[in-house]
Chains A and B, each alone.
Chain A
Amino acid sequence: MKPKTLFEKVWEQHEVAPETADTPAVLYIDLHLIHEVTTPQAFAELRSRGLSVRRPDRTLATLDHSTPTDPAEVFGRVPIKVESAGRQVKEMEKNCREFGVELFGLGSEQRGIVHVIGPELGATQPGKTIVCGDSHTATHGAFGALAFGIGTTEVGQVLATQCLLQRRPKTLAIEVSGRLRDAVTAKDLILAIIGKIGVSGGTGQVIEYRGSAIEALSMDERMTVCNMSIEAGARAGMIAPDETTFAYLKGRRFAPQGDAWARAVERWRNLRTDSGARYDRVVEIDASKLEPMITYGTNPGMVVPITATVPDRPSDAIHAKSLAYMGLHGGEPLLGKPVQVVFVGSCTNARLSDLEQAARVMRGRKVASGVRMLVVPGSQQVKREAEASGLAQVFTDAGAEWRESGCSMCIGMNGDTVAKGEYAVSTSNRNFEGRQGAGARTLLASPLTAAAAAVSGRISDPREFLRS
């Protein structure tokens, strides 16, 4: 039999009808994650056509994007301050009620960022096809699922038919050899990968991350890597499931139980890429040579090691436009640049181990004066665990704001924003112009680097804070 890649196996297992010259494949979707921002128009479409949700049991709904993270707003003690966001939340509650979809809503202990709760609940599993009206759906590929972001029209299609029409993408293997050094995190790795292949380097392709450095990562770290696949333009990012994956999933609410668990693990073990299988393209990276990374521009591919200077390209007008927005000059060092905001959160870096990383730097230190630090757990479960273990206390003692879960300052549509002209070191995934608020200047980095900026008030090398 022809050797196959992980992607090919998952794809072929989900073909209701394979593609032809005239028609795309009909691809079955095992799990549909939905949230309040990209679904109202899809439910409206179902209503106007008199359609129902085909598989409410395969649909998982939550509130995260436009939902506030201020506890008073979340628990209804004060109105949601972005009025239209409040209406959107109400609309989601109504849609889920009317179409019979379980909603992990405002009062739910399971609520959180859609890409944090899927894995946390064990709904994300190897070999599944998973979609969501959100480009960071690639996160779930960390489990060996084929997971990708879709638009609202497609959300409607999946709600009504549990299927999508898809052309088969190409495959790109990113082979990461060696091991990450201490203080160099999964976030630094994926930023370095995007810097290497570029923000459209993955267009039309599904990435499989593989090699010794990937195998050594925890599930949280693998999710950080897969999460940002879209920032390289890729359709999806995947990592072959292994013992680390199985250990993470065992016993979780939606994971197979009892005898079904052993059968599932046996099936999942067969998903890894066969030896001799071919990818359309292969890129190699040595993890042991990487340093902590930080972005300096207005897309995630504009990234350098934290000790580097801002690249100088005087003849490149687009580079100049980006630097002008950022208020930076080619040739200047990034280290030492004052920052006003630090954000630890988002579907990229708001799981418990991310908060532990930030706390490694924060413990016994204070947020520098003039700096606002927001720590926003990825889910209510992460929040509870961080509070129980004393982690939350580290942040509040330091003077940071500790919030309810949600997308918060990553997307700036829920009341949490960065002001015009301010520099924010952010553990999120996008440094686009205005992403965190009109005129906001975002520098993407790891939780360690973000915490180092918080306590020093400047862009700082996190290694300095881990030695002492």
Chain B
Amino acid sequence: MQPISTLTSRTVVLPFTNIDTDQIIPARFLTTTTKEGLGRQAFADWRYDASGASKPDFALNRPEAAGCAILVAGRNFGCGSSREHAPWALLDYGFRAVVSTEIADIFRSNSLKNGLLPIVVDEQTHAWLLEHPGVSLQIDLQASTLTLPDGTAVRFPVEAFARYCLLNGVDELGYLLQQGDAITRYEQTQS
């Protein structure tokens, strides 16, 4: 995992609530056996028409969306399926952070494990962000703040261990493997 500590980017906005992981990456693309290359299929059914041509009206297809690494989305982003292909697709597309008022549990957990920041903000900040697509935001993970263009720093919650892993680019598996003796002792008490 690539470490991440700060991020400055313009936003792209998808204002819909309850954007589920079937929208982020439709199931027909899940027959892959690797993590790579899913960015092209992110939001496939919203981005392309039946012939495969880009729909010009869709936010991600507009010229100003190019290079945006922060996605602002409606409440309850990432609900539905546990597919980790959803954060893989968003990362491969170029996003490094998703901002909403509520982010679904499994999607949030999967995102943290891949270096995609799931950022939950208050209703007021969120409403402003939805109304102002394309603004430039600064995210500071160590301080757990998101800074708006007027300099207001909004704090967001991030679980301590996940933050440590993200800042240092380490993954949880290494930590779990270090628990081997404790796991063996636990197994012995159960048998």
Q: Are B179 and A161 in contact (CB under 8 A)?
A: yes
Q: Are A91 and B173 in contact (CB under 8 A)?
A: no
Given A22-B160, A28-B183, check contact A135 B106 (CB 8 Å).
yes
Residue of A nearest to B48 (CB): A438
Given A149-B82, A199-B76, check contact A88 B159 (CB 8 Å).
no
A264 adjacent to chain B (CB < 8 Å):
no
B31 adjacent to chain A (CB < 8 Å):
yes
CB distance from A409 to the nearest CB of B (A): 11
Q: B32: which A residues are within 8 A, CB to CB?
A: 40, 84, 88
CA A326 to CA B35, docked complex, whole Å: 32
Q: Give residues of chain B (4-59) contacting chain A, Cβ–Cβ below 8 Å.
A: 15-18, 20, 22-23, 26-28, 30-35, 45, 50
Residue of B nearest to A26 (CB): B179
Q: A152: which B residues are within 8 A, CB to CB?
A: 84, 110
Q: Are B50 and A420 in contact (CB under 8 A)?
A: yes
Q: B79: which A residues are within 8 A, CB to CB?
A: 199-200, 233, 299
A227 adjacent to chain B (CB < 8 Å):
no
CA A85 to CA B31, docked complex, whole Å: 5
- Taken residue by residue from 145 to 165, chain A's Cβ proximity to chain B (1 for < 8 Å, 0 otherwise) reads as 000011111101100111111
Given A26-B179, A153-B113, A165-B172, check contact A434 B45 (CB 8 Å).
yes
A24 adjacent to chain B (CB < 8 Å):
yes
Given A22-B160, A88-B31, A435-B22, check contact A38 B50 (CB 8 Å).
no
Q: Are B182 and A17 in contact (CB under 8 A)?
A: yes
B175 adjacent to chain A (CB < 8 Å):
yes
Q: Are B180 and A235 in contact (CB under 8 A)?
A: no
Q: B23: which A residues are within 8 A, CB to CB?
A: 432-434
Centre residue among B82, B106, B171, B180 by max chain A CB count within 10 A: B82
Q: B94: which A residues are within 8 A, CB to CB?
A: none
Q: Are B106 and A433 in contact (CB under 8 A)?
A: no
Residue of A nearest to B81 (CB): A135
Give which listed residue, A24, A49, A153, contacts B84 with CB less than 8 A. Answer: A153
B75 adjacent to chain A (CB < 8 Å):
yes
A16 adjacent to chain B (CB < 8 Å):
yes
CB distance from A348 to the nearest CB of B (A): 14
B128 adjacent to chain A (CB < 8 Å):
no
Give which listed residue, A54, A82, A164, A321, contacts B16 with CB less than 8 A. Answer: A321
Give which listed residue, A17, A203, A318, contacts B74 with CB less than 8 A. Answer: A318
Given A26-B179, A91-B33, A203-B105, check contact A165 B110 (CB 8 Å).
no
Residue of A nearest to B32 (CB): A84
CB distance from B159 to the nearest CB of A (A): 6
- Taken residue by residue from 18 to 59, chain A's Cβ proximity to chain B (1 for < 8 Å, 0 otherwise) reads as 000111101010000000011011001100010100100000
- Taken residue by residue from 161 to 182, chain A's Cβ proximity to chain B (1 for < 8 Å, 0 otherwise) reads as 1111101000000000000000
B134 adjacent to chain A (CB < 8 Å):
no
A133 adjacent to chain B (CB < 8 Å):
yes
Centre residue among A84, A165, A233, A430 by max chain B CB count within 10 A: A165
Q: Are B160 and A21 in contact (CB under 8 A)?
A: yes
Q: A153: which B residues are within 8 A, CB to CB?
A: 84, 110, 113-114, 171-173
B104 adjacent to chain A (CB < 8 Å):
yes
A204 adjacent to chain B (CB < 8 Å):
yes
A134 adjacent to chain B (CB < 8 Å):
yes
Q: Are A26 and B31 in contact (CB under 8 A)?
A: no
A289 adjacent to chain B (CB < 8 Å):
no
A96 adjacent to chain B (CB < 8 Å):
no
A87 adjacent to chain B (CB < 8 Å):
yes
Residue of A nearest to B28 (CB): A413
B155 adjacent to chain A (CB < 8 Å):
no
Give which listed residue, B35, B104, B179, B183, contacts A200 with CB less than 8 A. Answer: B104
Q: Are B82 and A135 in contact (CB under 8 A)?
A: yes
Q: Are A87 and B31 in contact (CB under 8 A)?
A: yes
CB distance from A439 to the nearest CB of B (A): 8
CA A435 to CA B161, docked complex, whole Å: 34
CB distance from B59 to the nearest CB of A (A): 14
Q: Are A66 and B113 in contact (CB under 8 A)?
A: no
Q: A21: which B residues are within 8 A, CB to CB?
A: 160
Q: Are B182 and A38 in contact (CB under 8 A)?
A: no
Q: Give residues of chain B (84-143) contacting chain A, Cβ–Cβ below 8 Å.
A: 84, 102, 104-106, 109-110, 113-114
Q: A150: which B residues are within 8 A, CB to CB?
A: 82, 106, 109
Give which listed residue, B16, B27, B104, B171, contacts A233 with CB less than 8 A. Answer: B104
Q: B175: which A residues are within 8 A, CB to CB?
A: 165
CA A151 to CA B22, docked complex, whole Å: 15
Q: Are B18 and A199 in contact (CB under 8 A)?
A: yes
CA A45 to CA B177, docked complex, whole Å: 14
Q: Are B104 and A157 in contact (CB under 8 A)?
A: no
Q: Are A66 and B30 in contact (CB under 8 A)?
A: yes
Q: List 13 A-B contacts (CB under 8 A).
A: A22-B160, A37-B30, A40-B34, A65-B30, A84-B31, A157-B172, A165-B176, A200-B18, A200-B76, A299-B20, A301-B18, A438-B28, A439-B50
Please name 19 further chain A to chain B contacts, defined as beta carbons within 8 Å, in addition to the given A26-B176, A82-B31, A149-B82, sorted by A numbering.
A22-B164, A84-B31, A133-B82, A134-B82, A135-B80, A135-B106, A150-B82, A151-B84, A152-B110, A157-B172, A161-B176, A165-B161, A200-B75, A233-B79, A430-B22, A430-B81, A434-B23, A434-B45, A439-B45
Closest CB pairs A-B (n = 4): A40-B33, A151-B110, A84-B31, A151-B84
Residues of B within 8 A of A (CB): 15-18, 20, 22-23, 26-28, 30-35, 45, 50, 74-76, 79-84, 102, 104-106, 109-110, 113-114, 159-161, 164, 171-173, 175-177, 179-180, 182-183, 186-187, 190
